[in-house]
Structure 1
Amino acid sequence: MHTPASMVMGIVFAPLGLVLVFTAAITPQWREGQARLSMAGPGSLLRAGAKGSGTGARSGSAETLLLLRSDGLWESCLQVEHSELKQCWPVAGPYQRDPRVRLAQGLVLTSLFLCGTGIVLACIGVRCWTDLPLRGVAASGGLLVVIAGLLSLIALGVYTHNLKRLGIDPNQEISNPRSPQLSLYPAGSLYFGWLGSCLQLVGGSALLFSFKRPRCPTCPSRPEQTVCPACHSCPEMTSKTDMDVYEVSC
């Protein structure tokens, strides 16, 4: 059986999109930020760690550290620049309770579930071990993959639009103006998510074309009758070899 090109494209792009969205979901680089922290006090642990790693920087008479902060959907990390001092922890506090972060988490999880289910249905519908694919099943899987791509795009859009405001309390900034300010910007996991979502849409749309059945050849002796070689309704068709039948299979 010649598998339609749309099915092949969907079977290739949909799993690739699923892998990229899953990679984006589990990595903590949805947003990154930098902040300079002043090290005060002779017994400061940060001062001792910076001296041991050579990361201290003098600005006038004060030493500062450059902290690198990264946040994901389920994990946050903090690292001192040019050192091995790094710590990661599950998201907590205002960032975890932010309704936009929780919305993104729910949409991404739903997207992954729907995309996986759609890929299973598409694989069953293609049925490469038989003459005729189950076009309705494959197209239904494509519809689920398209919905999954749309959900992940919505999650990424909500997160990106509110990236600098997620988990930040304006009242806390006013009450503590000396706290280090982070300059937040999009990170690599977002780009993985955008690419994976687009691949899901392309793969799902290709599978949707499975609803359209190809035109079957007509019987030479009866041109008004449209037949499929698998039905063996035409004597001219049944006399052909199996190879010829597979070449024009619909």
Structure 2
Amino acid sequence: MHTPASMVMGIVFAPLGLVLVFTAAITPQWREGQARLGMTGPGSLLRSGSVDTLLLLRSDGLWESCLQVEHSELKQCWPIAGPYQRDPRVRLAQGLVLTSLFLCGTGIVLACIGVRCWTDLPLRGVAATGGLLVVMAGLLSLTALGVYTHNLRRLGMVSPSQGTNNHKFPHLSLRPAGSLYFGWLGSCLQVLGGGALLFSFKQPRCLTLNELNESIKNEINNTGYI
């Protein structure tokens, strides 16, 4: 069977997008920041009056946060907790990403069944339905990424009106991290792959009986057989 190019594009891009979005979901680098922590000690002050500092690297994901000391193997990760975990925008992103992964996986299964490489004719309706699910999955993950990126520096931050300013930890300058870029790329691939599978709804034009007879006659005339 000659598989349409749109189907080939769909069954290649959709799984690749799924892998990238899944990688983004399980890694704790959605946002990251760094801060210098002053380490003062009586011994160092008596010797030179200097102040030692440590550069702390903090990263947060959808389900895990990590803290590492720069130029050191000291690193600790833990499940997200506190205001960040309870933030409704983080929970929204979690739900959208999980739904996106489920829809994309289901769509890929339907697309593989619809392509039916072991038979002569593909199930175009099934393949196109799988493409629709993949497109929906891509849009959901794009929404999750957009919500998270737009509120990145405010997620889990306690408002001053609550009167719980905590000076125990230094202020972190937060910025987007690598997992977000994996997510954006994977979501775009999902939309492209699902959109390509949607072209499966377009049925190929079949020749009518008269057109088929005329084609056979022309072929006979061209080959010289009577």
TM-score range relative to shorter protein? 0.7 to 0.9
Residue of structure 1 equivalent to 2:204: 214
1:13 maps to which residue? 13
Counterpart of 1:214, as a letter, is P
The letter of the residue matching 1:36 is R
Residue equivalent to 2:188: 198
Matched, 1:74 2:63: yes
1:15 alignment partner AA: P
Give distance in 2, aligned partners of 1:192 and 1:175. 34
Q: 1:82-93 counterparts in 2 under 5 A?
A: 82-93=71-82
Question: After superposition, what is the alpha-carbon deviation per residue over 1:43-95, rounded to whole angstroms, capped at 9, x for unaligned?
Answer: 9xxx9xxxxxxxxxxx9622111000000000100000000110001111111
Tell me, yes or no, if structure 1 residue 65 matches structure 2 residue 64. Answer: no
Structure 1 residue 124 corresponds to structure 2 residue 109: no
Provide the rounded CA distance (Å) in 2 between the counterparts of 1:81 and 1:132.
Answer: 58
Distance change >3 Å, CA 123–CA 174, structure 1 → 2: same
Question: 2: distance between equivalents of 1:109 and 1:169?
Answer: 27
Identical aligned pairs, as a percentage?
Answer: 83
| TM-superposition CA deviations, 1:205-238 (whole Å, max 9, x none) | 000000001112344xx13xxx7xxxxxx6977x
**Shift in alpha-carbon separation, 1:60–1:127, aligned structure 2, 3 A:** farther
**Structure 2 residue 151 is the aligned partner of structure 1 residue 158:** no
Counterpart of 1:165, as a letter, is R
Q: What is aligned with 1:30?
A: 30
Q: Is the 8 A contact 1:173 1:179 kept in 2?
A: no
CA distance in 2, matches of 1:122, 1:175: 52
Any idea what SS the aligned residue of 2:55 has?
strand
Determine the structure 2 residue equivalent to 1:175: 165
On the 8 A contact 1:28/1:70 being kept in 2, the answer is yes
5+ unaligned residues in a row in structure 1: which ranges? Answer: 48-58, 228-233, 241-250
The one-letter code sitting in structure 1 at the alignment partner of 2:8 is: V
Distance 1:174 1:96, change over 3 A: closer
How far, CA to CA, are the matches of 1:143 and 1:209 in structure 2? 10
The aligned counterpart of 1:55 is none
Q: RMSD across aligned C-alpha pairs, in angstroms?
A: 2.3
TM-score normalized with structure 2 length: 0.88
Measured at CA, do residues 178 and 206 of structure 1 come closer, stay the same or move farther in structure 2, by a change above 3 Å?
same
Residues 39 and 30 (structure 1), Cα distance of their counterparts in 2 relative to 1, 3 Å cut? same
Measure the CA separation in 2 of the matches of 1:124 and 1:112. Answer: 19
Q: Give the equivalent residue in structure 1 for 2:222.
A: none
Aligned position for 1:143: 132
**Residues 11 and 203 of structure 1 are in contact (CA less than 8 Å); yes or no, is this contact kept in structure 2?**
yes
Structure 2 vs 1, CA of residues 19 and 107 (structure 1 numbering), >3 Å: closer, same or farther? same
> In 2, distance between residues paired with 1:75 and 1:22?
14
Output the CA distance in 2 between the equivalents of 1:69 and 1:96: 16
Instruction: Please give the TM-score of this superposition, normalised by the length of structure 1.
Output: 0.80
Unpaired runs of 5+ residues, structure 2, are 220-226
